[in-house]
Structure 1
Amino acid sequence: MGLRICLILVVFSLAWPLQAQITGGRSTYAFLGLPSSARVSGLAGNLITVVDDDVSLAFSNPAALNPLMHQQLAFNHGFLGGQMQHGAFNFGHKLGSKGTTIHAGVQYARYGEIEQTNEFFQDLGTFNAADYAIVAGIAHPVYDRLNVGANLRLISSLYGQYSSLGFASDLAATYRDTAKRVTVSLVFRNVGQQLSTYDPSIGKEPLPFDLQIGISKQLKYLPFRFSFIYTSLNRWNVLYDDPNLDSGTIFLGEEPKDPSSFNLWMDNFFRHVIFNGELLIGARENFRLRFGYNYRLHREMTVQGYSSLAGFTFGVGLKVNRFRIDFGRGIYHLAGGQTQLGISTNFKEFRKG
């Protein structure tokens, strides 16, 4: 039964028209790309390559859902600076004895109270802006090493007098080789479209569709797991050409030289790549140290002429009694970054006590 439901979701999602394959700044509902948890924040904002008892991972990879998440509740809240905040909460539940697992939750981003003016900069008061997504997902093991899953999202966006509704889904498959401690995942994120637009005179905007593949490996003699995630498989060229920046090099007073085609290829390739690692300390991995690096974020958010740690992230996780507490910090710009806190627990542990 669980597999049938999962397949129905997959077919329905694929039947929904795919919008243009567009990234950064060219799509609506960009809040869907924010880290879903403090753990993910500390790992460069992406973790599709891990399968454990962390139910918040299902937001970015529904195939990560598994029976270890049964009765698991997670809440995460992040601070982006000023009044801007975002977060998510969800709950996992196992169905039957065949490994089918579901989850449900909410993702949100609130931007606070914003001053409203007209074209002559006259004060018209204030308005509030926020985005929400109600999420439900399911995963089922095809066999002992392969999980397939899907998420469905109903999206609501409200910016003052302007509002929009949308539909999105995630489709995913995860392969795990526990003997070799290797996990490989493929995820189609944000497949869908707007149901209603902010302005009826403007056509429907594309969603931030992203095709991702990743691999993780846990070392045999060291409690450390690293991940390599390749994003935007659906679009090769993600370079941003800013004519105001000096991209060439100057030698002995000569004019700047344009970068070679090889350098451009390498620059573009690594903008797709996210690296992260997690040190798992203790027999039950109750203490975790995390770090990550997003090269594209570093390149796009570094101010020319200034050294910057933009794109670097770090975090820590600690289990205290029945609760797991997580902290994640992402450096976005010289002006600041985002901090996220998370707490999760499993209701089964309370019944044991």
Structure 2
Amino acid sequence: MRRYWLLSTFLLMMVVAKSQTLGGNAVFNFLKLPNSPQLTALGGVNITNQNNDISLAFNNPALLRDSMHTQMVAVFNSMPANIKNLHWMLGYHHAKLKTNFALGINYFTYGNITQTDNIGNVQGQFKPTDFVVQFMASRQYMEKWFYGMSFKFINSNYGVYRSNGIAFDVGVNYHDKEKLFQAGVVAKNMGTQLQRYTSTVKEELPFDLEIGISKKLARSPFQFSATLHHVHQFDIRYNDTTFLNENPFGGSVSEGKNTGDKIFRHFVLASQISIGKYLEITVAYNHLRRSELKIANAGNGLNGFSLGVGALLPKLNIRYARAYYQNNTAYNQLGINMPLNQYFSLGKFGERIHW
């Protein structure tokens, strides 16, 4: 039965991939932003990194494992222009069902913005927000296979313009603990708008089909990851037709590029170094981000690069990440992971639910 489920999953990924869009023509693009310091440090896209951080399962449900039972993650991210991002997630392993569950939320607030009419008369202020609430489940198949699914409720509130929708992710991972190797594939944001911003036609969600691998080196502190995103479409240069193919900072966003550049835009490369048991350092490079944020005839600085550091204490993991999105400008992200069952019990109720 599980074999048929896995086969159906791959077929579903291929069918949906042919009907999705890219670039500025999708709604709810905040879904593409990394939710945690771990993912930010890994370049913003990673579905196979080998560690026990439950926040990575928010982007690939197949990474949700029984070792993450009662693990909670809380993240705070401060961006320019008073934009704030909060993320929370909690995992639970149901022994009888042999299934891992998790619940999470990713919330963005963009500060107070002045509201005007079409000729500039001030009518007050509004506070735009975006959030996604996500329920995840995963199971193990045989010894080395894991599969999972996420269900999402998405909400966006921009004053008088409001929208919501539903979506789901499906992921499959292969993990060989002896060879310290993991590979995976995930189809993300398959769904639809329920309420539209306006009375126009429904807009598509930011679908992505990703594959990746990670490898730890035996008797070495290094782990390397390579992730390919948008594998369902070769040319992923920005394709918003309302942008008229012109870059306001100079040059054309659709100018000719060689085949090598188009291929490399799909790649996110990362390396993680474990220093003893209590410290990890991560560096990564995202070529698509560096290419899209480049200002013509100007230095590109560290755009596309990211780094992170983690303090892995026995009952508390603290992670910090820094990612560059503008020349010489970066944003910072801070998060904590903690196993709640090691801090407090729930008495008899906790015994019944195997807390």
Aligned twin of 1:280: 274
- Take 1:197 and 1:19, find their aligned partners in 2: how far apart are those partners? 23
Map Cα deviations across residues 79-127 of structure 1 (whole Å, 9 max, x no partner). 2212111231110011115742110111111111111222322222211
Contact in 2 for aligned 1:51/1:65 (Cα 8 Å): no
Q: Quick one: structure 1 residues 277 and 99, their matched pair in 2 at CA, closer, same or farther if it must change by over 3 Å?
A: farther
- Take 1:189 and 1:273, find their aligned partners in 2: how far apart are those partners? 17
Aligned twin of 1:245: 251
Contact in 1 for aligned 2:72/2:337 (Cα 8 Å): yes
Q: Quick one: structure 1 residues 190 and 67, their matched pair in 2 at CA, closer, same or farther if it must change by over 3 Å?
A: same
Aligned twin of 1:112: 111
Are 1:267 and 2:261 counterparts?
yes
Aligned twin of 1:136: 135
Match for 2:211: what amino acid? Answer: I
Match for 1:149: what amino acid? Answer: G
- Take 1:20 and 1:335, find their aligned partners in 2: how far apart are those partners? 38
Map Cα deviations across residues 122-178 of structure 1 (whole Å, 9 max, x no partner). 222211101111110100011110000000001111111111110011100000111
Contact in 2 for aligned 1:42/1:315 (Cα 8 Å): yes
Q: Quick one: structure 1 residues 18 and 47, their matched pair in 2 at CA, closer, same or farther if it must change by over 3 Å?
A: closer
Structure 2 residue corresponding to 1:345, chosen from 319, 323, 338: 338
Match for 1:102: what amino acid? Answer: F
Aligned twin of 2:349: none
Map Cα deviations across residues 34-92 of structure 1 (whole Å, 9 max, x no partner). 11101111111122112432111111010001111001000112122121112311100
SS of 1:36's partner is coil
Contact in 1 for aligned 2:17/2:209 (Cα 8 Å): no
Map Cα deviations across residues 213-263 of structure 1 (whole Å, 9 max, x no partner). 00001111311111000000121111246474289xxxxxxxxxx86xxx6
Aligned twin of 1:235: 233
Quote the offset at 1:18 in angstroms: 7.0
- Take 2:22 and 2:36, find their aligned partners in 1: how far apart are those partners? 22
What do you get for the CA RMSD once the two structures are aligned?
2.7
Quote the offset at 1:17 in angstroms: 7.1
Are 1:292 and 2:284 counterparts?
yes
Aligned twin of 1:252: none
Aligned twin of 1:250: none
Aligned twin of 1:325: 318
Quote the offset at 1:351 in angstroms: 5.3
Quote the offset at 1:292 in angstroms: 0.6
Contact in 2 for aligned 1:81/1:336 (Cα 8 Å): no
Quote the offset at 1:334 in angstroms: 2.3
SS of 2:57's partner is helix
Aligned twin of 1:255: none
Match for 1:245: what amino acid? Answer: G
Q: Quick one: structure 1 residues 246 and 198, their matched pair in 2 at CA, closer, same or farther if it must change by over 3 Å?
A: closer
Contact in 1 for aligned 2:226/2:270 (Cα 8 Å): yes
Gaps of 5+ in 2: 239-244, 346-355
Q: How many residues align?
A: 332
SS of 1:132's partner is strand
- Take 1:279 and 1:174, find their aligned partners in 2: how far apart are those partners? 22
- Take 1:148 and 1:306, find their aligned partners in 2: how far apart are those partners? 45
Deviates more, 1:321-330 or 1:286-295: 321-330
Map Cα deviations across residues 1-35 of structure 1 (whole Å, 9 max, x no partner). 9x79x98x969x87x97784222322100111111
Q: Quick one: structure 1 residues 51 and 219, their matched pair in 2 at CA, closer, same or farther if it must change by over 3 Å?
A: closer
- Take 1:339 and 1:269, find their aligned partners in 2: how far apart are those partners? 29
Contact in 1 for aligned 2:150/2:170 (Cα 8 Å): yes
SS of 2:268's partner is strand
Q: Quick one: structure 1 residues 210 and 17, their matched pair in 2 at CA, closer, same or farther if it must change by over 3 Å?
A: closer
Equivalences for 1:85-100 in 2 at 5 Å? 85-96=84-95, 99-100=98-99
Contact in 2 for aligned 1:37/1:87 (Cα 8 Å): no
Contact in 1 for aligned 2:213/2:227 (Cα 8 Å): yes
Quote the offset at 1:191 in angstroms: 0.6
SS of 2:188's partner is strand
Contact in 1 for aligned 2:302/2:328 (Cα 8 Å): no
Task: Give TM-score, length-normalised by structure 2.
Answer: 0.86
Equivalences for 1:1-353 in 2 at 5 Å? 20-96=19-95, 99-200=98-199, 202-240=200-238, 242=246, 244-245=250-251, 264-282=258-276, 284=277, 286-307=278-299, 308-334=301-327, 336-350=329-343
SS of 1:112's partner is coil
Gaps of 5+ in 1: 248-257
- Take 1:213 and 1:132, find their aligned partners in 2: how far apart are those partners? 26
